[in-house]
Structure 1
Amino acid sequence: GPVSLEVIGQTSEEMIRQGKLLHEKFSPFGEVAIKIPINPSMKEGDQLEFEGLKAIRQISKEGIQVNVTLIMTPEQALLAAKAGAAYASPFAGRIDDYIRTNLGMKRGEDFQKGDYFDYELLCKAREKMLDEAMKNAGSIREIYESRDINSLLKQGWDNGVHSGVDLIARILRIYRAYGFKTEVIAASIRNPRQVREVAELGVHIATLPFDVLKGMIEHYKTAEGMKRFMDDVVPQYRRLFEE
């Protein structure tokens, strides 16, 4: 696949110029995609929110592949595809961190970077608490207007997204519904189970660190089986390889 080269500008003009420069310099050596943030804004009021989309659209129109980075919501992924992105990179691990942090958990204390985020358990816990809260309500309107119930509804997810894997699932669902050709790159993958789950979803590409790759190939029973296999090799068979 292509090597992604990232722009460092924030305005569409800067990103377009830098993207073209990177493509011109490096495409002769192999396939290149220009990495552009979906939203280059870093603070409220800087009016840069749509600069990424402008750059994505223009560079894509010129036949240059764009990898849209820093995608944290399905809505951002939808906009990236509509702008013509070849690739969309949702950050699964960072969404998991964000949801856990909003629950009051601290990275390094309550969870480690590579820990699997068991969002299914979290969903079950929230549903149980909601059921208990709803039992005390006298009407549907009371349930709808209850601050306690609404507070519970907001816990353990990010605007309806339960986890990084769920984010990727929702993006893939949107892309398949509308026939977008944009490929999804599962970024910020933190553990082997996440790899399995995004693979089950049919994600196109995943970026992962070496320790995750190493974890994918390791299993206690595999090592145990290998030891037994070697112990069971009879001398006559072993001598075949010593001649």
Structure 2
Amino acid sequence: MQFFIDTANLADIQEAHDLGVLDGVTTNPSLMAKEGISGDERVRNHYKAICAIVDGDVSAEVISTTYEEMIKEGEELAALDSKIVVKVPMIQAGVKAIRYFSQKGIKTNCTLVFSAGQALLAAKAGATYVSPFIGRLDDISVSGLALIAEIREIYDNYAFDTKILAASVRHSAHILGCAKIGADVMTGPLSAILGLLKHPLTDSGLAQFLADHKRALEQKM
């Protein structure tokens, strides 16, 4: 499973990259605003800065909601860097845009997916990635992981090339659940990825090792 980080924070992206597990980045206007990035020029320069750090795909979201505007904006985003994946919402115009981009060889990420039917349409249109928002489904007491499993079954039935990108990942348990089910990619905060490092027996074992090492040194003195 590939690990993407869902942020516009360059320090977090660099840290994930330095950890050696980062495969890509997803971001959106809300995450850009959180970092104080606004205005077309600043946003696009920020995408370039992200691409300079990351070796893999970087999802850049269109703001437009009409087909013509999505095409114009998406082509402009794709021209920024070969790593850019145009992130398109799961709406009727968005599905049409995905088909257009697919025919032009431009990678796409169909976002705001909450049902298997939506994921099926995205795959039929040729989306590179489909992003089911598992955390937001959990928020309304619907199993996000169950949706991932349902999409996995459908995609495997028909050998779709579209990758399942589990989005709105909140914590390490989400990551492990997605890995067990067979999501191709997960995207979440750095904290969720770093959480996989943690185990109380690792901490206590290391503390014991260091204590034993200290005692051995003191005995030699």
TM-score (norm 2): 0.71
Distance in 2 (alpha carbons) for counterparts of 1:9 and 1:181: 26
1:216 aligned residue:
196
Aligned residue for 1:123? none
Matched, 1:63 2:105: yes
Displacement after TM superposition at 1:235 (Å): 2.1
- 2:139 aligns with 97
Give the superposition deviation at 1:203. Answer: 1.2
Distance apart, 1:230 and its partner CA: 1.0
Report the secondary structure of 1:67's partner residue.
Answer: strand
Q: Structure 1 stretch 203-212 or stretch 4-13: which is displaced more?
A: 203-212
2:177 alignment partner in structure 1: 197
Tell me, which stretches of 5 or more residues in structure 1 are unaligned? 40-49, 100-156, 158-162
Q: CA deviation at 1:219?
A: 1.6
Cα deviation, 1:55-99, whole Å, max 9, x if unaligned, reads 110111100000000000011000000000000010000001122
Partner AA of 1:66 in structure 2: T
- Normalized per residue, the structure richer in strand is 2
1:177-196 pair list within 5 angstroms: 177-196=157-176
Counterpart amino acid of 2:186? A
1:235 corresponds to which residue? 217
**Residue aligning to 1:140:** none
Q: Quick one: which amino acid aligns to residue 32 of structure 1?
A: I
Corresponding letter in the other structure for 1:76: Q
Structure 1 SS opposite 2:59: strand
Q: CA RMSD in A?
A: 1.8
Give the counterpart of 1:78 among 117, 120, 131: 120
One-letter code aligned to 1:12 = Y
Taking every aligned residue pair, what percent have the same amino acid on both sides?
42
**Residue 72 of structure 2 aligns with which residue?**
17
Deviation at 1:214, TM superposition (A): 2.5
- Partner of 1:77: helix, strand, or coil? helix
1: CA distance, partners of 2:132 / 2:187: 11
Q: Distance in 2 between matches of 1:61 and 1:213?
A: 34
Compare CA radii of gyration and give the structure with the larger one: 1
Tell me the distance in 2 between the aligned counterparts of 1:31 and 1:51. Answer: 24
In 1: Cα distance, 2:195 partner to 2:160 partner: 33
* Distance in 2 of aligned mates of 1:11 and 1:213: 35
Offset at residue 206 of structure 1 (A): 0.6
Asked if 1:175 is matched to 2:162, the reply is no
Find the residue that maps to 1:70 and give its secondary structure: strand
Query: How far did 1:52 drift?
Result: 0.9
Q: State the match for 1:5 in structure 2.
A: 60
SS at match of 1:4: strand
The offset of 1:231, in angstroms, is 1.5
Distance 1:53 1:192 in 2: 31
Alignment size in residue pairs = 164
- In the TM superposition, structure 1's runs of 4+ consecutive aligned residues that sit over 4 Å from their partners are none
1:33 to 63, 76, 85: 85
